A and B are shown apart, each in its own frame.
Chain A
Amino acid sequence: MSSVTVNQAIVAELYTWRFLKWVLAICVAVVAVFPIWWMFNVVFADPGTPVSINPRLYPTSLSSGLSKIQIILMETPYLRAYFVTIGYALLTILGMLLIGSMAAFEFALFDFPGKRLLFGLVMLSLMVPTVVTIIPTYLLVAELGWLNTMQGLVVPGLASAFGLFLLVQFMRTLPREMIEAARLDGASHFKIYWYIALPLSRNAMVTLAILTFMKTWGNFAWPLIVAPKPEIYTVGQVVGLFNAPFSHQTVDVVMTANLLAVLPPLLFFLIFQRKIVEGIAMSGSKG
């Protein structure tokens, strides 16, 4: 076999692969994005046309969509719910990242008596379904007098077993030599965490922050029982008002309420996604 044909074969393989990967990527992108695009079209459609008969491939009426959005924003506590939910999500993220990364730093990089037991317990709690704990947790929050408060929403979720697990898995890959070197230089334990471990696990932190934001934004059951007052309704609860099965609302209004609920996370993601990429790429080039 001459080297020319081998080269040709490699080039051919390269081209088919390139072609295929584009086709594949575009197909998957369509499947992923279309349902959301469809929801958008339902909202921005001429009123009165039944939703499920007409496939809605593109929006038809900007004004009717805008007027529906206006009605909902005026008549429901949507704007306040945005603030409440953003506060809820941000406080949860900050608290979880701080507390979780401090603990993960220890669990991933050091040994101390009781570590295995504690970590085992945390992992165990990941396996207990929420239904089991929701009423006892609720009763505890009630006794603390935290019903209908922000701390009632946020604090019980801070010690996230999921977050700890994710951070520990990432921090295990941190280079121990750097930590040893810093210790030999006389850096304090907290300084090593703050100046070395945290910056190095930035990608994991960003990932956890995004995922936590999405989870908090979509969280429904917990705010519902712990914060039943309308002044502290989250977006999930406000949308729940529209999604009730026997609601007299027509579909396009229901879908508008739903669209308003996803708009902030959607924008958040689209705006910050470059930052997210940079974060991931930068810490990736450590080798």
Chain B
Amino acid sequence: MNARRHLPHYAMVLPFALLFAAFFLYPIISGFYYSFHDWNAATEARFIGLANYEAVLKSRDFARAMTNLGIYIAITVPLGIAVALALALLVDSFTGFWANFFRSAFFLPVVLPAFLAATIWRWMYAPNFGLVNMVLGWFGMPSVNFLNDTGTMLYALIAVDVWVSAGFNMVILLAGLKNIPQDLYEAARLDGASRLQQVRYVTIPMLAPILFFVVTYGFISALQVFDVPWLLTGSSFTAYGGRRNALLFPVMDMMGRAFGAVRFGEATAYGFILTFVIILFTAVMFGLRAWRTPK
């Protein structure tokens, strides 16, 4: 009887659940199986226990990739979301044509496929004569070799990253902003709240579910950063990561181990180590949220 009551719910979820099981769950489980095997995708897999995990954890590229990733995430996620939120608020403060205009302009980079954004920025960053260096030159600053100076490469990547993703997050946040009832702002204004206070006490709490989505998704996708650094460094399966591996990230290393060295077992093990890290991160995020909500 209980099952009958729930039947409509299951019926609605069923299509998603079936496709999900076939094309996500099954590949993940199969990948997990292969992570304990010596496997090159074409020939029979050979069980080797934890050797893949050991090989990954001990390799010098892994340490380098994880360090890069840590610094990258610590900067790009908060910065990206702060910029996106600022842009959303900025657009929201305009009305009519100009709101429309600026939103379109800010969103434009999202329209570019990643490969194109990276190709364009490679030019923008070129030493001596690239556009960025030309602008720096106007202010009398020396030319910076952004994509080949180990001190600047990571920041150059973060700039591109924010450029690409800010519009994406802005659209999501804007949709959330539009959902905030105007009377809440009026009430705040009547209470004498300044513009900044309105943001702090009305906008951010009301946006919380959307912000939570944007932050979590930002984390998860930053952890899997791949195509932009791959293209900025002109990487290929046999040589990747840029000068002194300054732009080496875990997914790049995985792709190289998979398609460059044809060690799919090792690449899969690498993937599950990364997954484990991502799960830890997300658990902390959810934990923080659960801890905050009752207040």
Contact = CB atoms under 8 A, between A and B. Distances in A.
A245 B236 contact: yes
B191 to A, nearest CB: 15
A269 B111 contact: yes
Interface SS of B by simple majority: helix
Given A33-B108, A236-B113, A128 B271 contact: yes
Interface in A195-215: 203-204, 207, 210-211, 214
B94 A189 contact: no
A103 B12 contact: yes
B12 A189 contact: yes
A69 interface: no
Nearest to A157: B23
Interface residues of A, number: 96
A51 interface: yes
Contact of B115 (A36, A125, A127, A239): A239
Interface residues of B, number: 96
Contacts of B210: 169-170
Contacts of B110: 214
B217 interface: yes
A25 B212 contact: no
B22 A25 contact: no
Interface string B109-149: 11111111101110110100111001000000000000000
A140 B25 CA distance: 12
A129 B264 contact: no
A161 interface: yes
A182 interface: no
Nearest to A39: B120
Contacts of B17: 103, 118, 159
B213 A159 contact: no
B23 A140 contact: yes
Nearest to A239: B115
A132 B28 contact: yes
A99 interface: yes
Interface of B: 6, 8-10, 12-13, 15-17, 19-20, 22-28, 30-31, 34, 41, 87, 90-91, 93-94, 98, 100-117, 119-121, 123-124, 126, 129-131, 134, 163, 167-168, 171-172, 174-175, 178-179, 181-183, 195, 209-210, 212-213, 216-217, 220, 223-224, 227, 234, 236, 250-251, 254-255, 258, 264, 267-268, 271-272, 274-275, 278-279, 282
